[in-house]
Amino acid sequence: MPLRNDETALGHHQSAMKKNKIKPFDFQFPDYRPRRIRSHAVLRSLLCETRFAPEQLIMPYFVRAGHGVKESITAMPGQFRFSPDTLLTELDSLAAGGVRALLLFGLTDSKDKKARGAYAKTGIIPQTIRAVKKKFPKLAVITDVCLCAYTSHGHCGLLNGRGEIDNDASLPVLAKMALAHAEAGADMVSPSDMMDGRIKVIRQVLDRRGFKSLPLMSYAAKYNSAFYGPFREAAHSAPGQGKNSPKDRKSYQMEPANREEALREIALDIREGADIVMVKPALAYLDILREAKERFHFPLAGYFVSGEYAMIKAAAEKGWLDEKQAVLEALTAVFRAGADTVITYHAKAAACWLNSR
């Protein structure tokens, strides 16, 4: 596994400085010239503090029923909605580039108030899991566990009679969805709904049904962000489609101004049984990633979301920035902040760029 920040080496360096009574501000020009170690490409590489590799990236995909389907997503240039068969063709090149994990989002035309399609054993995600694992047994298949693409109102949880999000009634449905994915052969499930207590309930159900070894990656600190817009087009999952349902997700996704609340959310999910915790979005919340890593020392994912992807793509299409350099710089920032893995729609392209270095 490529190393990022070598804290042990840093500790030794600081100890040596203390022993020799050298303080950081004692380094000054002309005795200390930082540019010396930037003058040669090899030297810059030798001393690079933050590194990542294709196998640390997770590629998200949108899948829908049908055959031979590959639909362009307008708000996410270069991304598509696949049917299971066309996704298999796509995964040939993904695996060849060294990306070893994918995250699946399902689309369905059969939506209802109870999200029954979310846990159907013959649903689009179980179908896709079986197909992928048969052809690519070494790829790690991660599945998104959320109700928004399966409810007629577009929310991540069920609604009560007053049109409010019914947190506790949503938990067993989410658990049934996670179980359906596990039974189909998923390597990891990833609850993204932000209902209170869902990690505990999903963990208990999976354990009872013989899936004690199946890991959970929790969307632990998921902010109510404007950067999700392109995703909602891609997944046909905009909230508030029902007559009496809320028009946004502010009652369950986090307030962007809050930092301590994010850390409480992460702590809760760790206690409830999460194996990896996630901060979403990643690029706009680097401070949360950094503090989460420093406080919990726990496996940490960052989600480089659809809007962050689309901004770079749009600017690159205008010729305003170099896409390759911008993507690799942005991903480096997410890893530098503390992420151990990054979910990104750039994963396939980034792997190609990394391999060509």
Q: What is the rounded CA–CA span in Å between residue 347 and residue 140? A: 14
**Strands 217-222 and 341-344: what pairing?**
unpaired
Regions in the chain scoring below 70 on pLDDT: 1-25, 241-244
Q: Which residues of 85-108 are buried (b: 16+ CB within 10 A; e: fewer)?
A: ebbbebbeebbebbbbbbbbbbbb
Hey, what amino acid is at 333? A
Q: What is the pLDDT of residue 3?
A: 42
Q: Does 114 participate in catalysis according to the annotation? A: no
Q: Which of 121, 4, 105, 102 is closest to 57 using CA atoms?
A: 102
Among candidate residues 111, 176, 280, 348, the one labeled active-site is 280
Q: What is the rounded CA–CA span in Å between residue 185 and residue 214? A: 10
Q: What is the pLDDT of residue 30?
A: 86
**Strands 101-106 and 80-82: what pairing?**
unpaired
Tokens of 65: 């029923």
How many Å is the Cα radius of gyration of the chain? 22
Among candidate residues 222, 293, 313, 348, the one labeled active-site is 222
- The structure's pTM equals 0.90
Element (H, E) at 48: none
Q: Does 293 participate in catalysis according to the annotation? A: no
Span 251-283, pLDDT tens digits: 999 999 999 999 999 999 999 999 999 999 999
Fold of the CATH domain 55-355: TIM Barrel (3.20.20)
Place of tokens 């031979």: 68
Contact 159, 186 (CB under 8 A): no
Place of tokens 């100890």: 15
Span 200-211, pLDDT tens digits: 999 999 999 999
57: number of Cβ within 10 Å: 27
Contact 4, 51 (CB under 8 A): yes
